[in-house]
């Protein structure tokens, strides 16, 4: 039986007051809970650094907040108490994780191969994070025949984000002779591999080390048209050298990439040579090079062991010709020579007079656009938290080219802290870590 309760006026107000008080208390608790949640909502706060994010036109002191594996917020003075972990990066530069657009990382045990499944290809994680790099693009080590092996053996097992240009030759970069096999250059298969099977990993087509006419380039461009991706060309082994003007103006589409831009590649008896962009007599940039860049042809550094000479790069920069993208061409012969790693190549451009913002643009947002991956190379809220934190060392430094000539510089980039998808993957001086403590005696 239901009990009917009668209430007087005063009792009614009393009840209303209690309800109101309960309501206020509930709201207060809710507010408090929300505030507490907010205090914990950021996972990592990188505080006090100078942020350079060319895509978003940021070039100032900012704090960067990360939640999970994503960029959560970029603003001046985000309070440290809103984050579970705060890393003081005052005096350091913070940029999007660096993209190295030309590397060879199809590491394997075939000692007779140049770059495919070979010790000549390096382990991706060995050189990336310690140089601020979070994404590498393999430049044609694998072709369509061995890309599946490359993927299972290397790409799927690397912490570094590994993307790739597919070699126009089905077997990839095995030997110099394989690179000549026009019967193994199959645009249909290349396009199928890229467009249908691995569109999120394969970003383009590589043509390299070809001794003949333009066949290798044209097959690559044909593949590129079918798959709607750019080609990247190592144009260095023709005797006499083929015309780069013809390459840029007649064979390339806008968006296609010329790598090894600053090489002065003498013609050798065995491998031919590469026409240089700077005239070797007058030391002037050839006029069609400017025209080509205006047309949308991409000029990539691809330093390597044999493809970066100061007597090309310095006159070119002085005459106002800047590469679109800065990259290493990392492989076994370049790692311990003049190239060394991405920070060394970037520092070389600083030493030649390029501004830091221009260097960062050419190693983040520019390569991201060239490989049609606008999700990478910036710190936009919601993007994956791939971040590089650099120290710009001051002092007396020397930088070599492939001819063992050198320039001196007063600055050098050093990777202090690297995050890949929100995780610390490199911490040079332990800035993300607590001090050690003596354990309490326990007897």
What are φ and ψ of residue 289, in 5° steps? Answer: -70, -45
Which one of 31-39, 50-58, 64-72, 101-109 is the stretch in contact with other proteins (CB under 8 A)?
A: 101-109
Question: Rule CB under 8 A: is residue 346 a binding residue for other proteins?
Answer: no
Cα 341 to Cα 343: distance, rounded to the nearest angstrom: 6
Question: Please, what is the minimum distance in Å from the beta carbon of residue 431 to other proteins?
Answer: 7
Contacts of other proteins in 268-287 (CB under 8 A): 280
DSSP notation for 45-113: EEEEEEEEEGGGTEEEEEEEEEETTEEEEEES---GGGEEEEEE-TTSEEEEPEEEEEE---B-S-TT-
* Residue 443 binds other proteins, judged by CB under 8 A: yes
Quick check: 439 binds other proteins (CB under 8 A)? Answer: yes
Distance of CA 127 to the CA centre of its chain: 12
Asked if 233 contacts 208 with a C-beta cutoff of 8 angstroms, the reply is yes
- Residues 310-329: x/- map of binding to other proteins (CB under 8 A)? xx--x---------------
Tell me which stretch binds other proteins (CB under 8 A): 51-59, 103-111, 173-181, 210-218: 103-111
Cα-Cα end-to-end distance for the chain? 69
Q: Residue 111 interacts with other proteins (CB under 8 A)?
A: yes
In whole angstroms, the minimum distance from the beta carbon of 108 to other proteins comes to 5
Taking Cα atoms as reference points, which of 368, 372, 359, 370 lies closest to residue 386?
368
Contact code string over 363-402 relative to other proteins, x by CB under 8 A = ---------------------------------xxxxxx-
What distances in angstroms separate CA 289 from CA 75, 202, 409, 443, one per listed residue?
41, 28, 28, 76
Task: Using CB under 8 A, count the residues that bind other proteins.
Answer: 52
Taking the complex as a whole, the smallest distance from the CB of residue 394 to other proteins amounts, in Å, to 11
**For binding to other proteins (CB under 8 A), which residues are involved?**
107-109, 111, 117, 119, 122-123, 125-127, 129-130, 153, 157, 280, 310-311, 314, 332, 335-336, 338, 340, 396-401, 403-407, 425-431, 433-439, 441-443
């Amino acid at each position: 039986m239901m009990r009917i309760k009668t209430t007087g006026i005063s009792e009614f107000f009393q009840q209303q007051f209690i309800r109101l008080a309960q309501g206020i208390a509930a709201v207060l608790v809710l507010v408090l809970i929300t505030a507490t949640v907010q205090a914990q909502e950021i996972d990592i706060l990188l505080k006090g650094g100078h942020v350079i994010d060319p895509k978003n036109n940021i070039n100032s002191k900012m704090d960067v907040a990360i939640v999970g594996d994503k960029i959560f917020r970029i603003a001046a003075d985000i309070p440290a108490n809103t984050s579970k972990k705060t890393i003081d990066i005052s005096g350091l530069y913070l940029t999007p994780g660096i993209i190295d657009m030309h590397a060879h990382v199809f590491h394997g045990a075939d000692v007779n191969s140049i770059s495919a499944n070979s010790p000549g290809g390096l382990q991706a994680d060995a050189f990336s994070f310690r140089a601020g790099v979070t994404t590498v693009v393999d430049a044609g080590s694998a072709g369509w025949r061995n890309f599946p092996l490359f993927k299972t053996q290397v790409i799927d097992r690397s912490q570094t984000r590994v993307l790739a240009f597919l070699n126009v030759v089905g077997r990839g970069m095995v030997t110099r002779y394989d690179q000549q096999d026009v019967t193994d250059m199959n645009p249909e298969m290349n396009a199928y591999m890229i467009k249908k099977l691995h569109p999120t990993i394969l970003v383009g087509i590589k043509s390299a080390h070809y001794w003949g006419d333009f066949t290798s380039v044209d097959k690559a461009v044909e593949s590129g048209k079918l798959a709607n991706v750019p080609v990247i060309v190592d144009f260095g082994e023709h005797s006499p050298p083929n015309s780069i003007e013809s390459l840029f103006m007649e064979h390339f589409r806008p968006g296609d990439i010329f790598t090894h831009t600053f090489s002065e590649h003498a013609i050798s008896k065995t491998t031919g040579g590469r026409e240089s962009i700077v005239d070797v007599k007058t030391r002037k940039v050839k006029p069609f090079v400017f025209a080509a860049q205006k047309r949308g042809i991409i000029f990539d550094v691809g330093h390597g062991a044999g493809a970066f000479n100061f007597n090309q790069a310095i006159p070119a920069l002085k005459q106002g010709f800047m590469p679109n993208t800065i990259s290493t061409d990392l492989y076994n012969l370049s790692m311990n020579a003049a190239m060394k790693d991405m920070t060394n190549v970037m520092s070389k451009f600083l030493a030649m007079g390029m501004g830091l913002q221009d260097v960062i643009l050419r190693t983040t947002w520019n390569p991201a656009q060239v490989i049609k991956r606008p999700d990478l190379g910036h710190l936009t809220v919601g993007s994956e938290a791939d971040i590089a934190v650099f120290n710009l060392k001051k002092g007396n430094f020397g930088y070599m080219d492939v001819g063992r000539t050198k320039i001196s510089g007063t600055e050098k980039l050093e990777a202090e802290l690297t995050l890949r998808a929100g995780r610390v993957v490199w911490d040079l001086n332990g800035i993300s870590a607590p001090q050690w403590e003596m354990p309490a005696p326990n007897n």
